[in-house]
Amino acid sequence: MGKSGKRKGYRPRSQRQQAQDAARSAALAAADGRRRAKNRHLLIACAVLLSLALAFGIASLVGHCSGSVALSTPHCRVDGEMLTYYFYDYYIAELAEHRAEYVAAGLDPAQPLDGQMYNASMTWEAHFLAEVKASLRRMLVFAETAYRENSVDMAAARAAADRCMTAMQAAAEEAGTTLAVYLADCYGVDEDAVRRAEELSAIADARYRTFAEKIYTAEERRERYEQNPAAYQVADVIAYSVKVDLTGVSGEDAMRAEYLRAENRAKQIAAATDEAAFLAAIEADLRREKPSLSERGIATHLDAAYLYHIPYAAQGLAETWVNEVGRLAGDTAVLGETGDYTVVYCLAAPRRVESCRVSAQYILVPYADHMTEALAQAAADDILASFLEDEPSSERFADLVARYGTTTDSLFSAVTNGDVEKPLGDWLLADAREVGDTAVLAASDGYYILYYTARSPLPLWEEMVADSLREEDYRLLLAESGVTVHEKACVVPAIVPAI
């Protein structure tokens, strides 16, 4: 998986990615959920590190930063090729995790982004590029700080780039092509651009880890919380988009009938009296309106309808509605304009979340590797049975991962609701879950064999408080360092990644 903008650290982790969620919600309405865990099985079988350009003040890479400069600090810069790599790394990761939501919002992944409108004034390319550059600016601050402090470890940076290229080579071989073709088709760049990017990635990441090591005391967290308790409350909703379809429709009466049909569809779903009924109404609508959807396709749409941990300041139809005073679990509504509705169900009103993030090792048994889903489940059951024959342990499970694992990652790390598909999240986050618990669960891409490993020490609300404190420390770091990131207009080539 590309580390892209999902990477821990460079964006503040308080209300995890809420700035991006709020920005996206205006166009995606309720279709956009919080990002899944970093370790979700992606469409590309390689682990790609965070994409940046290397500091041009470091002697080993002087002269290699070709192309126009997009962003720079006194000792670091991101040139056009680096920006392109980072952009498509981010875009590929987004599609892998939110393809259905983006398609529902009007994005066509089979077409270049520069000709598709995100909203009335911005293309999808401009939208994604703005998110990418925001993350790059923060990353460059850490890289520049490392350079000024003489803390750059070039040997470690080169090793990180080597590991990335090894993974890229494996992905290219799996795709039956050469590394050069693979990089050009997926990212629009060559190996030299990727290496420059990955080296600076490692430099920035190392400096961030030092920054992130600070532990805030219980007293500090409590004091910050009491300043504004509402800032650390979040809400959950189920949301579904209903849009009028005028394809092949002509004549005023026929169009009016289609608008009325869309309105009635939305009202019928909103009439549900509980979560199960609401989901059943959505499923019925999907089966009626999209009869070609497979069972897994329907399950994917239902999973995407869950929007967890919406912060109180988020903007958007569903976000604004769920944060209204007096909102209660079980409330429903039809939001939006004629012919373009968002139907919402309040799963949890704004509250302080006391649950903690959890972690688990996993082995994915893909449906695609077996003739039927039943055979995939049988294979997963057999692997788990062999694991349980002797004393279960993390080490023994890791041995099974090495033997049977089909993904480049094998760990769900520090996940909460919405970070993984709902069936997985429901099991992982159950109050009774204990270290060493195992299960085989179905998801959209296959059966997951899970081995529960850890629960984080802080409940989510305290983690949000700590992230708020860390963001304040970042602003202090930025002020004290005096680092300014200069930006120039720069575009990325319009390609359709081969994913």
Quick one: CA dihedral 266, 270, 272, 278, positive or negative?
Answer: positive
Distance CA 203, CA 151 (A): 9
- CATH number of the structural domain 356-460: 3.10.50.40
pLDDT of residue 207: 94
358/455 Cα distance (integer angstroms) = 4
More confident residue, 27 or 338: 338
What is the pLDDT at residue 407? 67
Residue 67's pLDDT is what?
Answer: 58
CA gap 276, 140 in Å, rounded: 47
What φ, ψ does residue 222 adopt, rounded to 5°? Answer: -65, -40
- Report the DSSP pairing between strands 340-351 and 122-123: unpaired
Given a cut of 70, whether residue 81 has pLDDT beyond it is yes
In whole angstroms, give the CA distance from residue 349 to residue 477. 36
CA distance 240 to 229: 30
pLDDT in tens, 187-245: 999 999 999 999 998 999 999 999 988 899 999 999 999 999 999 999 999 999 998 88
**Residue 103 near residue 32 (C-beta atoms within 8 A):** no
Residue 260: partners with Cβ closer than 8 Å, 6 or more residues away: none
pLDDT tens-digit readout, 109-131: 999 999 999 888 899 999 999 99
SS3 315: coil
Terminal CA-CA length for the chain: 12
Q: At what angle do helices 179-187 and 80-104 cross, to 10 degrees?
A: 60
Q: Please say if the pLDDT value at position 9 is more than 50.
A: no
Q: How far apart are CA 7 and CA 39, in angstroms?
A: 11
Best CA proximity match to 445, nearest among 415, 469, 471, 409:
409
Single out the residue of 89, 95, 87, 61 nearest to residue 75, CA to CA: 61
What does the DSSP 8-state code read for residue 229? G
Do β-strands 306-311 and 340-351 pair in parallel, antiparallel, or remain unpaired? unpaired
Average the pLDDT over 247-262 and give the result.
89
Measured CA distances, 359 to 295, 429, 437, 439 (Å): 28, 9, 12, 14
Residue boundaries of the structural domains of the chain = 4-215+475-487, 234-351, 356-460
Planar angle of CA 454, 157, 42, nearest 5 degrees? 50
pLDDT computed for residue 327 by the predictor: 96
Give the model confidence (pLDDT) of 412-462 as tens digits.
999 999 889 999 999 999 999 999 999 999 998 899 999 999 999 999 999
Cβ atoms within 10 Å of 173's Cβ, excluding its own: 13
Question: Is there a contact between 105 and 488 (Cβ–Cβ < 8 Å)?
Answer: no
Q: pTM value?
A: 0.73
Q: Are 224 and 469 in contact (CB under 8 A)?
A: yes
Residue with tokens 């009466």: 253
Per the CB < 8 A criterion, the answer to whether 307 and 239 are in contact is yes
The pLDDT assigned to 309 comes to 94
290-342 pLDDT, tens digit each: 999 988 889 989 998 999 999 988 888 899 999 999 999 999 999 998 888 99
pLDDT at 119: 84
